[in-house]
A and B are shown apart, each in its own frame.
Chain A
């Protein structure tokens, strides 16, 4: 194992955790560290490093999770957490199965970011700054950020599982502000992966130019239209649409509480037959990939929609047990300070046959969402909202003038059923998804997607 969790210590902790009963106990140990820095006003600043160690111990008894976490990985810290988790239980001691170490294969990292001098990272930020500012005289502000994070985790549980993972994620982001008179617009772009510094081997500076171009384009924008119309969503971060309007509703905790519009719809048709969609935690070096999830279950590729039919929900261990199925490797947690819950990994709609131009050519008057600032869904009602960061009008089958300030709102089931064409392009993008107060890295992806009708909320009067 990684040295995080000695098997003998893990055994002692599990014994302690089950001292007063419980069907299941687990110890999760973690060492997390990282470095972030940014550039603003052409100055490298906010250079920040952090190193944390700690553990969380969970005992499940009669469906209730008793959880305690501590900072520190000394055996005494871990045993303290176990005793705390078990303190509310009053049952008979239970035995655990002997631990059997299972090797996992972490995502390959070519160049460990912590081995690259910090000056090299500062130089990368200066390059982003120059490339973005060089994109046009109207770029008034530019900020860029660099982040590397490593999470080494180890999990042992009372069913004999003992496994570990070593995760390294690296990401840069650029936000450009363009100004012309009173008009102020922003453009943002990111590049990230479950990768080391090799992520920047290509032309990372290109994202600075893309962010700047978005901001500059919007200077010529007019207010977005309002009302119901066909919407074409571009690939890549457009996948946040599926993430919000379907992915969250398929997380089994919502389903089991009857707090998802997809409850009871397994096997039913929820979309037109052209639609196939997946959650895949094994995509090589993708942002949302891990070797095992935060309960030690191997990640997997799960088809959630097959030719328009709903084929699977997304499970962690606890929810899987309730439905008598196996975990789909979606039990994730932000850190050792959090309980695992069902979460997406990399979620995407598989590409279709049409070219993006063909999708657009069939729209008389509609809206083209080239990229989103983010989105939000209420799984119980299915209501969702997306902020469009770069949008255009579609007139007579062509993308025409840029629009500012548009938001898309709708209801999951209606919008999913209204997807009527898929482009043959495909791209994955990085996101940070929040749920229940926990933020985890997720990948979103798709090619161009057309929705026959959706409400666009703009400021045009």
Chain B
């Protein structure tokens, strides 16, 4: 239809999704949601101009109007010599198993029981845990299909679910919160007791927190916080940021940008990764790409447009937030290679410092172009190689470049973290960071 409306090339991306969500509080169900959605997004190219349109009207008339809008939008855009659709002909890969039947099979009352079990587990963790603000279970089963005028065609199904809670602990000095979470392909693989316990323990461990003194010291980032920084690193390594002069690593290809302890892969095929799929958002088969090896930057991440512009091959990094958004370069799953030191070993290596378990304000406290950051933090003091009193209401600050070079050790126990992208990372020990408190 887009070709009929005047496009030289066109691509259609269709997705449908069913999902459920349960929110519980105080042993009762707050809400139970059943969701269905489906839609189509069309990219159209007229010569070197590209346009996009999406919609939910899948009737013949609706799709034809959609195609016409995509073409009309292409006419508004300026010419870009690198614009154009991906060519087909790339070998498809053996797709990892991304669906778990328990997503479809578990009835709503079993999901409610799971969410309630998360809440109960948190409350039983510690007498200091007084409540759970909310415990949530959510899942989604998705079908995706793509087709283009260049012969790209593919489809896949995937499922995912997660549960999380925010526990509240109370003691001298007021309330503290603790987050616990778990994710899996289906509810059968979630461990509600462990999820609840994590939230409860985190909240209870923060009771009585004070402000640390301002100083520079070694900092251990727990896996959830480390993942936030790895995500930030990932967004600096996408070719869009690099080619448009908005990455602190734009001129660092082939150079050492991190300590030798740091190796990072982008792996769009890892069966456990929630960014996995057989092909990326424009139909290019996913792959595993070594991005940083022993501190050395080996490649940036590319989609078709940035690869053409950079005269390299796509790393199949066209991400897509559903049919409502056109593809843009983003990591699939970023995986930090684990090191040798267990958690106790990291603390011992740190000696005296701060263990950071939570950061806030990453969106507002980071300059993505320079990599300079200052973010709110909470955690525990480390004294003589062991965890000591809780601390909060302070900031950690630095810049991404010196933070990566300052990694003194990578922990052994890696964990998947789904916030702001899909990352698997162990805790990280940074040799020195600026801590601002009282």
Contact A50 B53 (CB under 8 A): yes
CA–CA, A68 to B434, complex, Å? 48
Q: How far apart are A248's CB and chain B's nearest CB, in angstroms?
A: 13
Contact A85 B361 (CB under 8 A): no
CA–CA, A264 to B357, complex, Å? 30
Q: Which of B36, B80, B326 contacts A70 (CB 8 A)?
A: B36
CB neighbors of B among A443-461 (8 A):
455-459, 461
Q: Which of A40, A119, A185, A261 contacts B76 (CB 8 A)?
A: A119
Q: Does B32 contact A (CB under 8 A)?
A: yes
Q: Does B197 contact A (CB under 8 A)?
A: no
- Which B residue sits closest to A226, measured CB to CB? B436
CA–CA, A11 to B325, complex, Å? 35
CB neighbors of A among B128-159 (8 A):
131, 133-134
Q: Does A417 contact B (CB under 8 A)?
A: no
CA–CA, A136 to B434, complex, Å? 33
CB-CB < 8 A to A179: which residues of B? Answer: 245
Q: Which of B32, B51, B56, B76 contacts A72 (CB 8 A)?
A: B56
- Which A residue sits closest to B138, measured CB to CB? A437
Assuming A40-B244, A186-B367, A387-B365, is B436 touching A66 (CB within 8 A)?
A: no
- Which B residue sits closest to A434, measured CB to CB? B363
Contact A50 B55 (CB under 8 A): yes
Q: Does A109 contact B (CB under 8 A)?
A: no
Q: Does A201 contact B (CB under 8 A)?
A: no
Q: How far apart are B430's CB and chain A's nearest CB, in angstroms?
A: 14
Contact A84 B34 (CB under 8 A): yes
Q: Which of A65, A140, A458 contacts B245 (CB 8 A)?
A: A140
- Which B residue sits closest to A126, measured CB to CB? B78
Q: How far apart are B167's CB and chain A's nearest CB, in angstroms?
A: 10
Q: Which of A71, A118, A376 contacts B73 (CB 8 A)?
A: A118
Q: Which of A41, A65, A383, A455 contacts B378 (CB 8 A)?
A: A383
Contact A63 B28 (CB under 8 A): yes
Q: Does B33 contact A (CB under 8 A)?
A: yes
Q: Does B102 contact A (CB under 8 A)?
A: no
CB-CB < 8 A to A455: which residues of B? Answer: 211, 393-395, 436-438
Q: How far apart are B69's CB and chain A's nearest CB, in angstroms?
A: 5
Q: How far apart are B15's CB and chain A's nearest CB, in angstroms?
A: 11
Q: Looking at the complex, which of B170-178, B264-272, B420-428 is the stretch in contact with chain A?
A: B170-178
CB-CB < 8 A to B175: which residues of A? Answer: 259, 261, 380-381
Q: How far apart are A181's CB and chain B's nearest CB, in angstroms?
A: 12
Q: Does A44 contact B (CB under 8 A)?
A: yes
- Which B residue sits closest to A41, measured CB to CB? B244
Q: Looking at the complex, which of A291-299, A346-354, A404-412 is the stretch in contact with chain B?
A: A404-412
- Which B residue sits closest to A63, measured CB to CB? B28
Contact A118 B395 (CB under 8 A): no
- Which B residue sits closest to A179, measured CB to CB? B245
CB-CB < 8 A to B434: which residues of A? Answer: 226, 458-459, 461
Contact B374 A380 (CB under 8 A): no
The A interface is mostly helix, strand or loop, or mixed, namely strand
Contact B80 A184 (CB under 8 A): no
Mark interface residues in A39-79 (1 if CB within 8 Å of B CB, else 0). Answer: 01101111111111110000000011111111110000000
Contact A227 B214 (CB under 8 A): yes
Q: Does B246 contact A (CB under 8 A)?
A: yes
CB neighbors of A among B1-43 (8 A):
25, 28-39
Assuming A177-B245, A380-B133, is B364 touching A67 (CB within 8 A)?
A: no
CB neighbors of A among B359-415 (8 A):
360-361, 363-370, 372-376, 378, 392-399
Assuming A404-B372, A455-B394, is B364 touching A49 (CB within 8 A)?
A: no
CB-CB < 8 A to A372: which residues of B? Answer: 364
CB-CB < 8 A to B56: which residues of A? Answer: 51-54, 71-72
CB neighbors of A among B73-128 (8 A):
73-74, 76-80, 108-109
CB-CB < 8 A to A384: which residues of B? Answer: 360, 376
- Which B residue sits closest to A44, measured CB to CB? B78
Q: How far apart are A94's CB and chain B's nearest CB, in angstroms?
A: 18
Mark interface residues in B200-216 (1 if CB within 8 Å of A CB, else 0). Answer: 00000000000100101
Contact B360 A337 (CB under 8 A): no
CB-CB < 8 A to A376: which residues of B? Answer: 360-361, 363-364, 376
Given contacts A64-B29, A387-B366, could you give 11 more A-B pairs where the C-beta distance is less than 8 Å?
Answer: A45-B77, A46-B326, A48-B53, A51-B55, A51-B56, A259-B131, A339-B33, A373-B365, A387-B361, A407-B361, A409-B395
**What are the 6 closest A-B residue pairs judged by CB atoms, nearest first?**
A457-B395, A385-B376, A374-B364, A387-B364, A457-B436, A385-B361
B residues within 8 Å of A by Cβ? 25, 28-39, 50-57, 65-66, 69-70, 72-74, 76-80, 108-109, 131, 133-134, 166, 168, 174-177, 211, 214, 216, 244-246, 248, 324-326, 360-361, 363-370, 372-376, 378, 392-399, 434, 436-438
A-B contact pairs, 6 of them (CB 8 A): A44-B78, A47-B74, A63-B28, A67-B31, A118-B73, A339-B31
